[in-house]
Structure 1
Amino acid sequence: MTQRLRTAGGALLSLLALLVSMLAAASPAHAAVGLRVSGTDIVEANGSTFLMRGVSHPHAWYASQTTSSLAGIKSLGANVVRVVLSGGRWPANNAADVANVVAQCKANRLICVLENHDTTGYGEQSGAVTLDAAVNYWISVQSALTGQENYVVINIGNEPFGNNAVTPNWTQATTSAVTRMRNAGFQHLLMVDAPNWGQDWGFTMRDTAASVFNADPQHNTVFSIHMYGVFDTAAEINAYLDAFRTARLPLVIGEFGDMHSDGNPDEDTIMAQARARGVGYIGWSWSGNGGGVEYLDMVTNFNAASLTPWGQRIFNGADGIKQTSREAAIFGGTTPDTTPPTRPGTPTASAVTSSGATLSWTASTDAGGSGLAGYDVYREQGATDTRLGQSTTNSITLTGLTPSTQYQVYVRARDGAGNVSPDSALVTFTTTAGGGGGGTCTVNATTQSQWGNGYVVEVKVTNTGTAGITGWTVKFTLPPGHTLSNAWNAQTTVSGQSVTARNVSYNGTLAPNASASFGFQASRPDGDTKVPTDYTCS
């Protein structure tokens, strides 16, 4: 967000039930000091997982409020504060100022995410600077940051691209910035924001994040998505989070609000999914907003005792900061649980059909936690990368399987601290032949929304036969140059331009005349107005 703001822009164990195409070991922690990436998590020097729960403070514009603001933010339960800095687009924050900010964060037992706001909206907003210029700023204040790797995350540039195409593009510019930071000797955890005012509606960061991550010789870069009007539905939020989970890349929600001029973000889903998935979040912002978005202030006039509705929601609401925040271990937080759960019992397969099966097993135990662990489930053949469920369980239902196919499923236990059972339990089963129950179906597709290079379609499947069906498959072709971005209420596979959508567990059984719907989002070249038209159902 800019000062006047822009238009776009434990105690309990948790389940992590994940289906991936091959059983893959978690990425090891790399040779980095202080805060660092380990798999999809951020961990501290002692290996304790650090889950960000905090807010942004506009220090660059309200430096006189910083002392009281950091104390207030801490008093309401946050474990991290994201601090707005400037190298000259606004009053510059020099090395002495930055050192003072870091000292105040430490005094308040807050991890400090420092961000350079000068890059906001580059290519679209006057006065914005490049990521290369942002790196120059960080080098100019490096003396204040060296040795603070346990306490500081460097967010290289806030929302570094607007919606206009620029050269070099986000992927190239971000890769270069990360490389320059490492060459300059920065050992810190780096954070990089998405383009499109941080909202990545064009999916550039989503699709190229792996190349940026791999360009960091320390593999110590976390990606930040800002969720405002682009993320106004649960489907959009889950699809984006799913993409990074499937790619096994670290992601935080670096900004979000409860409303915005470009649409109404679904903050309930954002916060609930962040908690369920173990994703960090930082809300925007403490106080001082202007330009018509004063509703994003969490407190009135920087007063921690005067919470606004948004402040009440993020600090005291369901899945909020007070409920989910844990102080960093370096400040004396809880000693990390390093005891892995036991191996779960051997699964049994029941209710096996041509397209699904139910698996159940004896619960694992966890001496380091509350006794019942969550589970990672890996399916080998014919899988799609989809996570099931969000709570501790010892039973799951698989859907979208191929008829007459043998599957091997590995079940491992994972506790709330991220410890994984030393071995897994295996079940093998074969799906039955055949398809549905003898009915026939028709398809009605409606284009719900369109924009310059994308669209959303709702597809309604109706059983027009005289007998019930227990599964359906819809096939269609994307026009040349179109790509499927995400889908909901269906399992999809793509081969070239051909898309096959199959029912999921809860919408495949249709009585005569009954209907089920699924939807998908696709991207297309600018100026292209075509949408798929050749839907078939079986």
Structure 2
Amino acid sequence: MKRKIAIVGAAVLALVASVMFFVKPADAAVGLRVNAGRIVEANGSNFIMRGVSHPHVWYTGQTSSFANIKSLGANTVRVVLGSGQRWGPSNDLPNVINLCRTNRLVCVLEVHDTTGYGEEGAAATLDQAATYWIGQRSALAGTENFIVINIGNEPMGNNATVNATWPTATSSAIGRLRNAGFEHMIMVDAPSWGQDWQFIMRDNAQSVFNSDPQRNTVFSVHMYGVFDTAAEIQDYLGRFRTAGLPIVVGEFGHNHSDGNPDEDTIMSYTQTNGIGYIGWSWSGNGGGVEYLDMVTSFNPAQLTSWGQRIFNGANGIRATSREATWFGGNPTTAPTTGGPTSQPPTTPPTTAPTTGSPGGRTCSATYAIVGQWQGGFQGEVRVTAGSQAITGWTVNWTFANAQRVTQSWNAQVTSSGNSVTARNMTYNGSLGAGATTNWGFIGSWTGTNSVPSVTCTAT
């Protein structure tokens, strides 16, 4: 039997997010929804997940990963969390949620403790995962537009007796969340280490979907060695499409110890058919599957071959990702042609911070080139408040070599000749003393792409 090998110890993923928001009126359109087998936003716009998993529960200090993943074009991050049975518990949801919103990312939050239940002795049940989510209800209130609750990662292994309980256990967990007042889109993983080689999720998906009183459940299959041919991938995903049921590829890789998944077909088929995908995983893998790291040591300037493939390859994230319209900004990605063809410098140049100080409030800004290709580049600017809290910021610089900003996110950017001015958005202008926020852009260049000096003025 083929199975995914569970990644353990300090090397897997993380998925969570939290911030307090208002509760919407009962008659208002609520967040991300399932409509005719597809994921849509509250305004009816289609949303197709293009993202990666991040091992937050094992690397809680790697908070810059959210901005770095966004900077490479993703519109989604799947955050690994712990419910306390094996890892965690993850009690930092407000901070994670804030990172998701600040970086304009849809976040799929998952409890990882359920991985391989029935084979892994310490694994949690879906009922225990549901208890964790209910305990985090207040932190998740009002986040339905950009948070998806993935109840439990790969909730069962290959134990046939246990796997047979997947439909009832999954429906019960969904019911508990709905009874607790959750209106979020819910994602459920398949049994058999997520790969559903016994087709238990596939054959019971309709009844599980119907058990959700809000009909807002999305199914997630993990594609590793079981899905090593185009025919297997197309047949499995195609059956959900034919049935009008929502499906995403919640995990996949370019290689695995249980076989060689066909990532090219996974990415081309999902792109053609409007299906979301989330690759595994950003960085920090261990246990013999280090080859699944997309970047080395969490450094976005050091893409691995897998990272190059999923971010910059055919049907990859940069070319196909579109930011959720709820954030109200520009598309996440660069144009689909003329994108990066080579790995960016391993040490991106960064400007020294400079500070403005009207009214006693100060801020500093740094400018970095995080990726560069012929004729184009991607920049990132980090704004940091000084010793006092600020309510807004403005960053200025003048390009020396006729570079141009062609696209941006997380800032309102205007240009006049070589001069660039960037102002905060409504949601990232207020920063506590010493707090930071990131924004990014796509630019063009010819000849030389020098790093300009930047100034920051606070209000």
The reply to whether TM is greater than 0.5 is yes
Structure 1: state its 5+ residue gaps. Answer: 6-29, 336-538
CA deviation digits over 1:429-462, x for unaligned, max 9?
xxxxxxxxxxxxxxxxxxxxxxxxxxxxxxxxxx
Cα distance in 1 for residues equivalent to 2:279 and 2:263: 10
Q: Which residue of 2 aligns with 1:75?
A: 71
Q: Which residue of 2 aligns with 1:350?
A: none
Q: Which residue of 1 aligns with 2:200?
A: 204
Displacement, 1:333? 4.5
Displacement, 1:87? 1.1
Output the amino acid matched with 2:184: H
Q: Of 42, 45, 50, which aligns to 1:45?
A: 42
Change (3 A) 1:31 1:181: farther
CA deviation digits over 1:60-82, x for unaligned, max 9?
101011x2111110000000000
CA deviation digits over 1:83-131, x for unaligned, max 9?
0000113442444x01110100111110110000010000011210110
Cα distance in 2 for residues equivalent to 1:230 and 1:31: 42
Q: Which residue of 1 aligns with 2:293?
A: 297
Q: Which residue of 2 aligns with 1:58?
A: 55
Q: Which residue of 2 aligns with 1:508?
A: none
Matches within 5 A, 1:98-497: 98-167=93-162, 169-333=165-329
Asked if the contact 2:84–2:90 (Cα under 8 Å) also holds between the matched residues in 1, the reply is no
Displacement, 1:32? 6.2
Asked if the contact 2:86–2:123 (Cα under 8 Å) also holds between the matched residues in 1, the reply is no
CA deviation digits over 1:379-415, x for unaligned, max 9?
xxxxxxxxxxxxxxxxxxxxxxxxxxxxxxxxxxxxx
Output the amino acid matched with 1:188: H
Cα distance in 2 for residues equivalent to 1:156 and 1:31: 25
Root-mean-square deviation (CA, aligned residues, Å) is 1.6
Cα distance in 1 for residues equivalent to 2:122 and 2:280: 22
Output the amino acid matched with 1:46: N
Asked if the contact 1:32–1:220 (Cα under 8 Å) also holds between the matched residues in 2, the reply is no
Cα distance in 2 for residues equivalent to 1:200 and 1:122: 14
TM-score computed with the length of structure 2 as normaliser? 0.66
Q: Find the residue that maps to 2:158 and give its secondary structure.
A: coil
CA deviation digits over 1:225-266, x for unaligned, max 9?
000000000000000011101111000000000000000000
Cα distance in 2 for residues equivalent to 1:127 and 1:91: 10
CA deviation digits over 1:464-517, x for unaligned, max 9?
xxxxxxxxxxxxxxxxxxxxxxxxxxxxxxxxxxxxxxxxxxxxxxxxxxxxxx
Output the amino acid matched with 1:64: G
Change (3 A) 1:297 1:94: closer
Cα distance in 2 for residues equivalent to 1:94 and 1:297: 23
Q: Which runs of 4+ in 1 moved over 4 A?
A: none
The size of the alignment, in residue pairs, is 309
Asked if the contact 2:54–2:79 (Cα under 8 Å) also holds between the matched residues in 1, the reply is yes
Q: Find the residue that maps to 1:253 and give its secondary structure.
A: strand
Cα distance in 2 for residues equivalent to 1:122 and 1:179: 20
Q: Which residue of 1 aligns with 2:432?
A: none
Q: Find the residue that maps to 1:219 and give its secondary structure.
A: coil
Cα distance in 2 for residues equivalent to 1:45 and 1:93: 31
Displacement, 1:305? 0.5
Q: Find the residue that maps to 1:192 and give its secondary structure.
A: strand
Structure 2: state its 5+ residue gaps. Answer: 10-26, 332-459
Asked if the contact 2:87–2:113 (Cα under 8 Å) also holds between the matched residues in 1, the reply is no
Output the amino acid matched with 2:52: V
Q: Find the residue that maps to 1:287 and give its secondary structure.
A: coil
Cα distance in 2 for residues equivalent to 1:268 and 1:247: 24
Output the amino acid matched with 2:156: F
Q: Which residue of 2 aligns with 1:4?
A: 8
Asked if the contact 1:94–1:141 (Cα under 8 Å) also holds between the matched residues in 2, the reply is no
Displacement, 1:331? 1.1
Asked if the contact 2:57–2:90 (Cα under 8 Å) also holds between the matched residues in 1, the reply is no
Displacement, 1:4? 2.8
Q: Find the residue that maps to 1:136 and give its secondary structure.
A: helix
Cα distance in 2 for residues equivalent to 1:298 and 1:147: 32
Change (3 A) 1:41 1:310: same
Cα distance in 2 for residues equivalent to 1:233 and 1:74: 30
Displacement, 1:151? 1.2
Cα distance in 2 for residues equivalent to 1:177 and 1:215: 10
TM-score computed with the length of structure 1 as normaliser? 0.56
Asked if the contact 2:116–2:155 (Cα under 8 Å) also holds between the matched residues in 1, the reply is yes
Output the amino acid matched with 2:77: V
Name the larger-Rg structure.
1
Change (3 A) 1:285 1:58: same
Q: Find the residue that maps to 2:222 and give its secondary structure.
A: strand
Cα distance in 2 for residues equivalent to 1:287 and 1:46: 34
Output the amino acid matched with 2:96: V
Cα distance in 1 for residues equivalent to 2:221 and 2:330: 28
CA deviation digits over 1:108-162, x for unaligned, max 9?
1101100000100000112101100000000111111011111100000000010
Cα distance in 2 for residues equivalent to 1:38 and 1:285: 29
Asked if the contact 1:61–1:90 (Cα under 8 Å) also holds between the matched residues in 2, the reply is no
Asked if the contact 1:135–1:177 (Cα under 8 Å) also holds between the matched residues in 2, the reply is yes
Output the amino acid matched with 1:4: V
Q: Find the residue that maps to 1:229 and give its secondary structure.
A: coil
